[in-house]
Amino acid sequence: MADAPKSFRVGLVQMCAGRSVARNIDAASELIRAAARGGAQYVQTPEMTNILELERERLLPALRLEADDPGVTQFRFLARELGLWLHVGSLALLGEGGKPVNRSLLISPEGRITARYDKIHMFDVDLPGGETYRESANYQPGREAVVATLPWGQLGMTICYDLRFPHLHRALAKAGAQFLAVPAAFTKPTGTAHWHTLLRARAIECQCYVFAAAQGGRHEIGRETFGHSLVISPWGEVLAEGGVQPAVTFADVELQRLEDVRRQVPSLRHDRPFDVVYAVDTLPDEVAS
């Protein structure tokens, strides 16, 4: 059996999705083709590739089951036509139970869906400045973490707000992930404060490459997202960074670099069990006084 390839090119598609599913699919498709022309073998799109909508009354009529969704059909066709691994960062879809899901799909060069991941952590927050988000009002959270197989190694699949939960990423790395995918639609305030720091932290503590395609710019719904799609090395280095406008960000990934980092600082092998206890003051009263 031939050895697995030791390097590959990543292309991160940055978008500014709106309310029209058809326009979003067309915009994503154009950028995916640009990524293929640039030599990308693994292409990732951002969270909410097919629609960015907060109002439930507008969202629900636009959603389809995965088997009936025009974006899924188009992206499977594109992966096959272009001969690349296409990771659709997430789509708003109807789940099997009829409730919307925020779902990531990994599509092979043969056009097969090889992995699915439903976002686990819901973005329910009140931000300074008056912005409020209640993702759980529209979407059913997932219950399973997913590690998928690529020709170059194992990919841990996450989405956006999952980034703030380090135990999820650590579990994926301990399960064999060498790459972590974090397609996102980070708001401008949270992105400005935390995007780079959190992504670099996940790369360092999990000793994984991190691929994070982002939404960027001011969207039709009035929301502003941070952009700055990033590829980060297992040592925490920013290998490539996008801006705010729709574009493709490229980086070449070297597997030897990952092996070197894990050999240099083998922290993934150094986890130890422990208990959390509450300290109790046991000093005699006269000593404590």
pLDDT of the chain along its 289 residues, tens only?
357 789 999 999 999 999 999 999 999 999 999 999 999 999 999 999 999 998 889 999 999 999 999 999 999 999 999 999 999 999 999 998 889 999 999 999 999 999 999 999 998 878 777 677 788 888 999 999 999 999 999 999 999 999 999 999 999 999 999 999 999 999 999 999 999 999 999 999 999 999 999 999 999 999 999 999 999 999 999 999 999 999 999 999 999 999 999 999 999 999 999 999 999 877 666 665 5
Residue 1 located in a structural domain: no
Residue 15 located in a structural domain: yes
Residue 17 located in a structural domain: yes
Q: Are 193 and 222 in contact (CB under 8 A)?
A: no
Residue 145 located in a structural domain: yes
Collapse the DSSP code of 259 into the 3-class scheme (helix H, G, I; strand E, B; otherwise coil) and give the result.
Answer: helix
Domains contained in the chain, number? 1
Amino acid at 92: A
> Which residue range is the domain that position 143 belongs to?
7-288
Residues belonging to the active site: 47, 119, 160
Show the 3-state SS of 55-86. CHHHHHHHCCEHHHCHHHHHHHHHHHHHCCEE
Quick one: pLDDT at residue 86? Answer: 99
Residue 2 located in a structural domain: no
Quick one: pLDDT at residue 130? Answer: 67
Quick one: pLDDT at residue 229? Answer: 98
Give whole-number Cα distances, 30 to 33, 155, 230, in Å.
5, 25, 20
Q: Are 104 and 157 in contact (CB under 8 A)?
A: yes
Residue 105 located in a structural domain: yes
E strands, 219-273, are 224-226, 230-232, 238-241, 247-254
Task: Categorise residue 202: left if φ over 0, alpha if ψ from -120 to 50, beta otherwise.
Answer: alpha
DSSP 8-state code for residue 187: B
Q: Taking CA 103 as the corner, what is the angle to CA 234 and CA 120, rounded to the nearest 5 degrees?
A: 70
- Residue 55 and residue 163: Cα distance in Å, rounded? 24
Show the 3-state SS of 121-176. CCCEEECCCCCEEEHHHCCCCCCCCEEEEECCEEEEECCHHHHHCHHHHHHHHHCC
Which H helix or E strand runs over 35? helix 21-37
Quick one: pLDDT at residue 275? Answer: 96
277: domain CATH number is: 3.60.110.10
Query: What token pair was written down for 264?
Result: 């240099």
Exposed/middle/buried for residue 71 (C-beta within 10 Å: 0-12, 13-18, 19+): buried
